Structure 1
Amino acid sequence: MIDPHAPRYSEAFSRLLSVMNDLREKCPWDRKQTLESLRYLTIEEVHELSEAILQQDFDEIKKELGDVLLHLVFYSKIADEKGAFDIADVINALCEKLIARHPHVYGAEANQTASESSADEIRANWEKIKAAEKAQAQQAGAPLPSVLDGVPISLPNLVKAMRIQEKARGVGFDWEKIEQVWEKVQEELAEFSQHCTPEGTPTELVAAEEEFGDLLFALVNYARFAGINPENALAKTNQKFTYRFQYIERKADQEGRSISQLSLEEMNRFWEEAKNEPQAR
């Protein structure tokens, strides 16, 4: 367990804040950065962290976590310069939110509730607490809140689909059994097929695209019920395909050819070889 009072943590964080102050004052590149200019760099850093996690490379995970942490401190530094908030405000607001949304840990019946609640029940309660917070904000004059307001517009759509479904589940709008979800997948597949020829060519592209979206959404729903993270599943498949394809490229190079000079039969033979490689599984 991390000792929150150990000097090494406060010293390390203080050192980071000092470095941030120096960079903002003395480095031309850091000095010119804004919230907007950092945004896309932050997205890139988070994707690099995600890739390191998929590869289970703890050295890279440590490095990428540092890069993400730098961005959090950077945003807070810029906000502090504008008189909006500082990093302490960020951390304290986070702590208050976590405490408020974990009554099974910090509430009056903490010990009993935490031991009796399942992870799904705790997740559902989290969403209910968030909904109550938004209702209070509305009473204070904020616009009509939606359960789905917390899903960022810029999320990758596969992740967004799962988060939308999780949010809806939090207020009770969900299927009761996984069998029902699988039936929905079959239904959407049949509807998509109606817009394709027997060979699989779309006959009405716009309609086929809409039905394909419905099919993907249903598959994400099924994955959620099955305990599969669809984003992780697809990322691992991309990784697997990339390794096998690059195996074909390496084999072609060893024969003094480019991959485009291989016949499809040769590509398929090397592909089958690649499937036996441990890295490709």
Structure 2
Amino acid sequence: MKNINKVDVKEFLTKESCLYDYSKSLCIYNVSQSDFEKLKEKLINDFDNDIEIICNLEDGEVKAYSKDLIYAKSYTIEGSHFLDRKHYTFTDLVDLMGILRSENGCPWDRVQTNDSIKSNVIEEAYELVEAIEKNDKESMIEEAGDVLLQTVFHSKIAKDKGLFSLTDVINALCTKLITRHTHVFGETKTKNSNEAISSWEKAKSIEKSQKTVGDKLDSVPKTFGSVMRAHKVQKIVRKTGFDFDDAKSAKQKIFEELDEIEKSKSRENLEWEAGDVLFAAVNYIRMLGVDPEIALNNCTSRFIERFKHIEKKALENNVELKHKNMDILEKYYQDSKRFENQVE
């Protein structure tokens, strides 16, 4: 059989199926009786009834879907075009992007640039985070795919411009994972996760030629959200010992900065002091062991749900959403909070 790849069953059982190229036939060999049930289960999970599999018996071949497989020492998955399948591989994803960017592909995909879709990376990452927080498996699968798409899309655009390719991206990533895990692939030894993080950061500093704390601070992306950037900077500086003694001291700093706001004489000065208040608040929350980015995001989500309750009650009772009805609207708001507590 032409264009056939062969893989030992032990390797096939340990690798993700999406790493194989099913545009070519794949022969899984050296299957023992003890491997059979594991192989069958994997094929059912990966392919369901999407494709027929050839059971290579001693007296001939028998085709069967995954759930109906009979034991054989080897099996062949016949190669097929991705449009003829419902289960896909990483190769299919790359090929799909190539088609979408081609002359006969999608007009929108074809004209995109790294700059035009850069905000999509942030949007998709946040949508994945939301799915994780909701513990929504189906949404996590979808959003993780969208994040992966951004990497493939940006790499294809860059390749078309002669800048770099997906191969360059994967090579750089694997190199980073190897060189920064010196406690796994090198001679450095670590006893726990804290030591592992310390080892990673030391390797990163060497790689990035970060000789000072200032170098590390300069490497924090300005494109981070303001809360995230402040939190990251504070965590870096904390390791030098330049930090509050405790959360109580950090809390006091908030009040000091609030006093400074009241003394502001100009719009420019007010913005300056307002920033100090927010930075101090992030510091305090950090010292409580809470991630301020997550805390604020969750708070915003709660506020949205509470306001939707206000709007619903106002419509039911013919109350206008105006400041003159603030006493009534505040009651609706407090009711929504009590309902939250009952649910919890």
TM-score w.r.t. length of structure 2: 0.67
Query: Structure 1 residues 257 and 271 mapped into 2: Cα distance closer, same or farther (>3 Å)?
Result: same
Partners of 2:131 and 2:158 in 1: CA distance: 29
- Report the secondary structure of 2:290's partner residue: coil
The partner residue of 1:91 within 170, 180, 196 is 170
Matched, 1:236 2:310: no
Matched, 1:210 2:210: no
Contact 1:178 1:226 in 2 (8 A): no
Corresponding residue pairs, total: 261
* CA shift for structure 1 position 257: 4.5
Q: Deviations over 1:72-125 (max 9, x none)?
A: 101111122233322122112111112211222222244xx1xx2343x43343
Where do residues 11-50 of structure 1 align in structure 2 (5 Å cutoff)? Answer: 11=21, 12-25=89-102, 26-50=105-129
* CA shift for structure 1 position 249: 0.4
Query: Structure 1 residues 217 and 233 mapped into 2: Cα distance closer, same or farther (>3 Å)?
Result: same
Q: Which amino acid aligns with 2:306?
A: R
Contact 1:223 1:229 in 2 (8 A): yes
Query: Structure 1 residues 266 and 3 mapped into 2: Cα distance closer, same or farther (>3 Å)?
Result: farther
Partners of 2:324 and 2:309 in 1: CA distance: 13
The partner residue of 1:267 within 329, 336, 340 is 329
Q: Which amino acid aligns with 2:170?
A: I
Contact 1:124 1:169 in 2 (8 A): no
For residue 16 of structure 2, what is the aligned residue in structure 1?
A: 6
For residue 232 of structure 2, what is the aligned residue in structure 1?
A: 163
* CA shift for structure 1 position 60: 2.0
- Report the secondary structure of 1:108's partner residue: coil
Partners of 1:51 and 1:102 in 2: CA distance: 29
Query: Structure 1 residues 194 and 20 mapped into 2: Cα distance closer, same or farther (>3 Å)?
Result: closer
Q: Which runs of 5+ in 2 are unaligned?
A: 1-11, 22-88
Partners of 2:155 and 2:320 in 1: CA distance: 50
* CA shift for structure 1 position 207: 3.3
Partners of 1:211 and 1:46 in 2: CA distance: 31
Query: Structure 1 residues 266 and 183 mapped into 2: Cα distance closer, same or farther (>3 Å)?
Result: same
> Percent identity, aligned pairs only?
36
Where do residues 240-259 of structure 1 align in structure 2 (5 Å cutoff)? Answer: 240-259=302-321
Q: Which amino acid aligns with 1:225?
A: M
Query: Structure 1 residues 278 and 191 mapped into 2: Cα distance closer, same or farther (>3 Å)?
Result: closer
Query: Structure 1 residues 41 and 194 mapped into 2: Cα distance closer, same or farther (>3 Å)?
Result: closer
For residue 206 of structure 2, what is the aligned residue in structure 1?
A: 132
- Report the secondary structure of 1:263's partner residue: helix
Contact 1:49 1:65 in 2 (8 A): yes
Partners of 2:16 and 2:261 in 1: CA distance: 63
For residue 52 of structure 2, what is the aligned residue in structure 1?
A: none
Partners of 1:147 and 1:173 in 2: CA distance: 15
Partners of 1:231 and 1:261 in 2: CA distance: 30
Whose helix fraction is larger, Structure 1's or Structure 2's?
1
Q: Which amino acid aligns with 1:158?
A: V
Q: Which amino acid aligns with 2:149?
A: L
- Report the secondary structure of 2:262's partner residue: coil
Q: RCO higher in 1 or 2 (8 Å CA, sep ≥ 6)?
A: 1
Contact 1:178 1:222 in 2 (8 A): no
Where do residues 76-115 of structure 1 align in structure 2 (5 Å cutoff)? Answer: 76-110=155-189, 113=190
Matched, 1:224 2:286: yes
* CA shift for structure 1 position 194: 4.2
Query: Structure 1 residues 24 and 87 mapped into 2: Cα distance closer, same or farther (>3 Å)?
Result: same
Query: Structure 1 residues 47 and 225 mapped into 2: Cα distance closer, same or farther (>3 Å)?
Result: same
Partners of 2:121 and 2:188 in 1: CA distance: 39
For residue 151 of structure 1, what is the aligned residue in structure 2?
A: 220
Query: Structure 1 residues 224 and 261 mapped into 2: Cα distance closer, same or farther (>3 Å)?
Result: closer
Q: Which runs of 5+ in 1 are unaligned?
A: 139-144
The partner residue of 1:61 within 137, 140, 151 is 140
For residue 192 of structure 2, what is the aligned residue in structure 1?
A: 117
Contact 2:100 2:110 in 1 (8 A): yes
